[in-house]
Chains A and B, each alone.
Chain A
Amino acid sequence: MGFKKDMIELTLLAVPAMIWFILFDYLPMFGVAFAFKQFTPRPGQPLFKNLFVNSPWVGLNNFNFLLRSSDMPKIMFNTLFYNIIFLVAGIVIPVFLAICLTEVHGKAFSGFVQMIMLLPYFLSWVIVGYCLYGFLATDEGQINHILRFFGKSAVQWYRSPGYWRAILIATGIWKGTGYSMIIYMCSITAIDRSLYESATLDGAGFSDRVKYITLPQLKTTVTTLFILNIGSILNSDFGLFYQVPMDSNSLQPVTQTLDVYVYKALMQQANFSYSAAASFLQSAVGCILLVISNIVVNRLNRDEG
């Protein structure tokens, strides 16, 4: 293939993004060394010298603190449990809603619904946490007011871990759905309308159109988002699992994910090497899963991935 003029232009277009990636993603990669060093800085010396000359290599020792905790299986379970649910729910629910909304003919109404659904996405978790607290507080919370009104006794929500898996999942979906729904709605609008018209002429009902046209056409978008999300399978939304339950001790069995654990363990210590080890583990597992899922998707379907 010859080096054509329009290719130079395209490359130039990509230059800002490339510079960005080199500066902020590839250059800082040297920081991976933190995970395998016992970082012992000497004051007044440059970071590179402190990291590469002054700090000794310690192999995998920095990962020990993760293994020290007998809760690791539980923490891993929580992390994977929530992430898999969000992975599935993050596809099924927005796709369902997007299909429903495209069938709504009133433009104004459809826009209004989109806006309402998108709003939570822009709220920070701290604010969501306090709003939820307004509902769930033991003394002044709305839900307990209602319970008392019906003669039931008040529930100490922040001390009852049983409810929180559901609460966290619901809150997480509530906040994220609007955003992914927009992505799917865009893909649906991009589908050729004539496909639907000819299907209708041939006597296909709503469910047939969804089944044979919309869903197959959405497959590419779904796969792309799925692959992207699987890369962060060990990462969890810190705000959701730390801020929303107000760091309540009693809820810890259901809210402790890897990120929350690392934060709690290292908040006091300020040990760079340990935190680097933890995030290295997250990224490494994510990267491996990403590559695997990409290969699997490629095998299943030669056109995508």
Chain B
Amino acid sequence: MTGKFRIVTILLLLMLLPVLNGCEAGFREVNSKGEEVVKIRIVTYDNGNVPLDGREVIAAANEISKEKIGVLADLEFQSAEKINLMMASGEYYDMVFTSSWINKFDKNASMGLYYDITDVVKEETPALYASIGEYWECAKIRDRIYGVPVLKDMGSENLFRLNADYFEGEKGMEIPEEMTFEDIEPYLKAYKEDHPNEYPLAMDKGGMAGYLNFLERVVGGIVVIPYDQDSDKPSAVPFWECDKLVDRYRLLHKWYKAGYIHPDAATIDSTNDNKSIPVRAGVAWRGYQGYSNPDDWGFHVKTSVYDGPYLSRTSEQGAIFSICAACDEEHVKACLKYLELLSTDRRFRDILGYGIEGKHFEYLPNGTILRLKAGQDGYNTKLFQTGSVVNASVESASRTFLADPDQWEKVFEGYEKDGIYSKTKGFAYDPTPEEDIITAVSAIYDDYATELRTGTSDPDKVIPEIKKRMKAAGIDELLEDINDQLDEWVK
């Protein structure tokens, strides 16, 4: 009897232990300059996998940031779901990855989750403020700045990636630098004729990479603002009123029926393992080499741009770092200084971007970098996950296949020259009043989207059905609200 009591008491105490354990004494470190060191917690998007050597890399970066600016960073890679949960539960962080596609910036900033850095960024970190320039616009809500945009490929260029060995070598077809979406058809046809049992256009259930990029998306792919609207007064329309999009869906369906697309495309997760596919789509920028390494594919890849560069609020919000509204001034300054160091100190930037020199990557004579085996396995993050892309060294595909170290200047020149700008750049829709309608139409859209974007279903059959269901769910009310807000913004 007493024995049992004892066991129960011990069990109860064991359960209480973690609760009692919560106290931790705080002490402040000082760096060699005598500055007090501030610790910040940065949470970034893991892009599908957490880098194995993350801790080692951040420790190496901390040694530098501690001396230079007196900041120690704790960098966490988290999934989109985890970040959403973190934002919704009010968990404390100092700086978080936010964007138009993961952890929605417009929604969170309108809700007041982020710190208003409009004044402090100008005073504390003038170099950072100057470096972003016109792109501050995409991080503004009602003319106040709520985040620091990551300078990267700000516009989206969609391209086809073709097997050059086959099309140019075997078939004698020329692959131009630019083409239209429709122009790819003869290539698909040629391959299909030679390989009747294969499907030449890579397609999985996500659709072609960046297939919605030529639209300003207000609510997913459901309510959009086309770039090329004729009238001066922009208006948001449901996607079925955008002819260009519907025509593309029709074309995809034609290709599907012709056997250029896998019959089960709508249920396939990824086609990356099938290296024989000769035509893939991609989203990148001029000079990007990530698609072209012959070692990865077993053949030479040539890319051909078919869309863009499109610049919109959506595209410019590809990656933003925002500071938690609950931060005190000291931590806000520390976060901004950290971002400033990332945007101005290239060696420091390369550590967070590529890992430890000599272990994860090495510098090539032309100023670009090459990821080593350990880097590809242990720290293969994308640059946008960890801060300024433009300030990092450019990555080459191999020792012989060198990238242009100054590619970014050309990319940004290209935006100025050929950029197609959205007329409503800067407009942010506040979805809170119509959230129940958005939820309902999103569920309806989800019933059709995969088969539309993979070409599986016939848009002329399916779209009337979607239209009917969305009208019943109140999409007209939603459109009215969006256009009211848009009119207000135009004024």
Known: A44-B325, A266-B439. A71 touches B469 (CB 8 A): yes
Q: Which of B5, B90, B324, B457 contacts A47 (CB under 8 A)?
A: B90
Asked whether, in the complex, the Cβ of B473 is within 8 Å of the Cβ of A270, the reply is no
| Interface: B251 (CB within 8 A) | no
Is A269 in contact with B435, judged by CB distance below 8 angstroms?
yes
The distance from the CB of B429 to the nearest CB of chain A, in whole angstroms, is 14
Decide: A270 and B439 in contact? CB cutoff 8 A.
no
Q: Is the CB of A137 within 8 A of B264?
A: yes
Q: Which of A203-260 contact B (CB under 8 A)?
A: 246-250, 252, 256
Give bound CA distance, A267 to B84, whole Å. Answer: 11
- The A-contacting residues of B in range 1-37, CB under 8 angstroms, are 1, 4-5, 8, 11, 15
A42 to B435, Cβ gap below 8 A?
no
List CB contacts (< 8 Å) of A16-65 with chain B: 16, 19, 39-47, 50, 61, 64-65
Check B223 for interface membership: any CB of A closer than 8 A.
no
Given A16-B11, A68-B439, A246-B267, do A270 and B457 touch, yes or no (CB 8 Å)?
A: no
Known contacts A41-B90, A70-B469, A264-B446; A271/B1 CB under 8 A? no
Task: Assess whether A271 is in contact with B435, with CB atoms less than 8 Å apart.
Answer: yes
Report B110 CB to chain A, min CB distance, Å.
Answer: 11
Structural contact, A249 and B438, CB atoms closer than 8 A:
no
Contact of B443 with A by CB under 8 A? yes
Give complex CA distance A96, B263 in Å: 41
The reply to whether A249 and B450 contact each other, CB–CB distance below 8 Å, is: yes
Instruction: Tell me which residues from 452 to 475 in chain B have a Cβ below 8 Å from any Cβ of chain A.
Output: 456-457, 469, 472-474
Is B469 touching A249 in the complex (CB atoms < 8 A)?
Answer: no
CB-CB < 8 A to A288: which residues of B?
Answer: none
Complex-state Cα separation, A269 to B205, whole angstroms: 20
Tell me whether A156 is interfacial, beta carbon within 8 Å.
Answer: yes
**A265 to B440 Cα, complex, angstroms:** 6
8 Å CB contact of A247 from B264, B443, B450:
B450
Whose C-beta in chain B lies nearest to the C-beta of A268?
A: B442
Is A68 within 8 A of B436, CB to CB?
yes
Among the interface residues A5, A71, A266, which one has the most CB atoms of the partner chain B within 10 A? Answer: A71
Which residues of the partner chain B approach A270 to less than 8 Å between Cβ atoms?
Answer: 81, 84-85, 87-88
Closest to B96 in A: A43
How distant is the Cα of A136 from the Cα of B458 in the complex, in angstroms?
22
Which residues of chain B have C-beta atoms less than 8 A from A44's C-beta?
90, 92, 324-327
A159-B220 in contact (CB<8A): no
Neighbouring A residues of B435 by C-beta, 8 Å: 65, 269, 271, 274
The listed residue with most A CB atoms (<10 A of its CB), out of B81, B266, B472, is B266
A126 → B minimal CB distance (Å) = 11
Interface flag for A261 (CB, 8 Å): yes
Asked if B231 is at the interface of the complex by the 8 Å CB criterion, the answer is no
A157's nearest neighbour on chain B, judged by CB, is B264
B267 lies within 8 A of A43 (CB): no
CB of A303 within 8 Å of the partner chain: no
Q: Are B437 and A249 in contact (CB under 8 A)?
A: no
Total A-B contacts with CB atoms under 8 angstroms apart: 130
Q: Which bracket fits the contact residues of B?
A: 35 or more
- List residues of B (52-103) whose CB comes within 8 Å of A's CBs: 81, 84-85, 87-93
Chain A residues with CB below 8 A from B444, complex form: 69, 71
How far apart are the CA atoms of A5 and B267 in the complex, in Å? Answer: 63
Q: With A and B bound together, what is the CA distance between A260 and B472 in angstroms? A: 20
A196 interfacial contact with B, CB 8 Å: no
* Contact for B266 among A5, A47, A249, A256, CB less than 8 A: A249
Cross-chain contact A65 with B436 (CB below 8 angstroms): yes
Cβ–Cβ < 8 Å partners of A265 in chain B:
439-440, 442-443, 446
Partner of A138, one of B205, B263, B442, B473: B263
Say whether A41 contacts B450, CB under 8 Å.
no
Residue pair B90, A70 in contact (C-beta under 8 Å): no
Give every chain B residue within 8 A of A250 (Cβ-Cβ).
Answer: 266, 451, 456-457
Taking CB as reference atom, which chain A residue is nearest B269? A246
Give chain B residues whose Cβ lies under 8 Å from the Cβ of A15: 8
Residues from chain A with a CB closer than 8 A to the CB of B264 are 137-139, 156, 158
Q: Report A-chain residues with C-beta under 8 Å of the C-beta of B446.
A: 264-265, 267
For residue A19, which residues in chain B have a CB less than 8 angstroms away from its CB?
A: 15
Query: Cβ of B469: which chain A residues have Cβ within 8 Å of it?
Result: 70-71
- Asked whether B473 lies within 8 Å of A70 as measured between CB atoms, the reply is yes
Chain B residues in 8 Å Cβ range of A156: 263-264
A121 interface residue, CB < 8 Å from B?
Answer: no
> What is the CA–CA distance of A272 and B457 in the complex, to the nearest angstrom?
33
CA distance A124 to B264 in the complex (A): 22
Residue B164, interface by CB 8 Å: no
Which of A65, A137, A252 gathers most chain B CB within 10 Å?
A65
Q: Is the CB of B8 within 8 A of A43?
A: no
Task: Name the interface residues of A170-198: CB closer than 8 Å to any CB of B.
Answer: none
B interface residues (Cβ-Cβ under 8 A, vs A): 1, 4-5, 8, 11, 15, 81, 84-85, 87-93, 111-113, 205, 220, 262-264, 266-267, 324-327, 435-440, 442-444, 446-451, 456-457, 469, 472-474
A selection of 14 A-B contacts at a CB cut-off of 8 Å is A5-B1, A42-B325, A47-B90, A68-B437, A71-B469, A246-B267, A247-B450, A249-B447, A249-B456, A250-B266, A256-B447, A265-B442, A267-B446, A268-B220
Known: A42-B325, A71-B444, A247-B267. 15 other contacts (CB 8 A): A9-B4, A12-B4, A19-B15, A40-B111, A43-B87, A43-B93, A44-B324, A44-B327, A65-B439, A70-B469, A133-B267, A156-B263, A249-B447, A264-B443, A269-B438
The list of the 7 closest CB pairs from A to B, nearest first, reads A44-B326, A68-B440, A265-B443, A246-B267, A70-B472, A270-B84, A41-B90
